[in-house]
Structure 1
Amino acid sequence: MPQTDIAARDRLIVALDLPTADAARTLVDQLGDTVVFYKIGMELAMAPGFFELLAELKARRKQVFVDLKFFDIPETVARAVRNLSERGADFCTVHGNQSIMEAAAAAKTGHTRVLAVTALTSLDQGDMDDLGFQVDIADLVLSRARRALEAGCDGVVSSGLEVARLKAEAGGSLVCVTPGIRPVENREEADQKRIMTPTDAIRAGADYLVVGRPVRDAADPRATAEAIVAEIKAAAA
């Protein structure tokens, strides 16, 4: 089961996968108070105004998930996490071995929570085989989640397909953030392979759902976000 002390509106994280900070601001304005949690990632990090956008979102009392999947020597990752903590990031992601995850977890301050990436939702078993991981993808996700908790991380980013097992075997304190969410009426997968509906993901135990294109590309982004929040609320009841 998902953690019970999170409001339905707080569980929806809208991914600002847009080319410019101004385009991101436009979407945030469209969504208004319907959305309180946003993800800013690699695309915006390569555009001017990334940190200004982060500051603006925090000034508007939004929560911010900085998804840059830090992967470098432990000291460098630690310094990056510390800087993000000082900027008020609520979540950040790390991708690496035990020493990298330990360094990230030790460096966080304030309310910043460190999430370990398990296996990207754009990868399926065939992709994992191609990468040389001769292991069942669900077993790999569980192993990485256990190691993340041992390292002091707060949670993981995981497909909804693995969440139920993670919650059952890795412990209830594990925060599960689930991307690859596709509402029933918007099931185009594109480059996402391991996908799930909001209802199924919440019932599996996901704590937060990351939704990008289904909201961003909707004819009415606000109405779409409101419908997802309503679905989350019903599923979590």
Structure 2
Amino acid sequence: MLADALSLMGESVLLIDLNPSDLLRLYFNIPYADKQGWALAEANGSGWERQTYQVKDNFYVLPYGRHGLTALGVHMDTPISAPALWLNEKLSAATGCSWVIFDAADTRGQHARLHQSSDLHLLVTHADMASHILLGQHHLAEKTKIVVNQLDVKQRLSDTVLLDWNIRYAKHLVPISVRQDLHVQEAFAHKMPATSYFPDSSSAQDVLSLATWCLVQRGAA
């Protein structure tokens, strides 16, 4: 949703899926059975640039390529290294996009170099006790910022956790939370992000505010 929100604000965006599940493509009506993806390109030695889908004039999506790897006989547990260019600070200029956003699960250490080379690392979490405990085990680099997702405003526990985080992680906690909203799942069923399918929904408005915050951070960098 963040990538879509930035594109709606006129920014050019390349969104890259680092998750082997390869589900991100479904938010943009890219068939799951399609073989294209950056991991396939890395496995067979072709260029990942040709694996990109243009979903809007200023918005591009690069899937993982799960089914392409399967067709090559590559086991899904086999780690696929990210292309060297992605670790280069000039990646944005090389792609021609103002924003290059990586969607990745929090796999400890797997994307450490990518985190280091990124301008901003958004750690998405929930305001609950499990996340509170796990967050306490997480090393937060200076550029790592915490985004609370699916916030249930009716839950007193969430308020208590957020109050603690505002003190404990004051330098890292993004001042915008994304509220829990069933419109997100309904939009997914229509193969679109809620920011485009339900632009007036609470989650869409929250993510647009988050996109504005990101633009401010870029200007302050």
Length-normalised TM-score, structure 2: 0.42
Normalized per residue, the structure richer in helix is 1
Length-normalised TM-score, structure 1: 0.40
- Between Structure 1 and Structure 2, whose CA radius of gyration is higher? 2
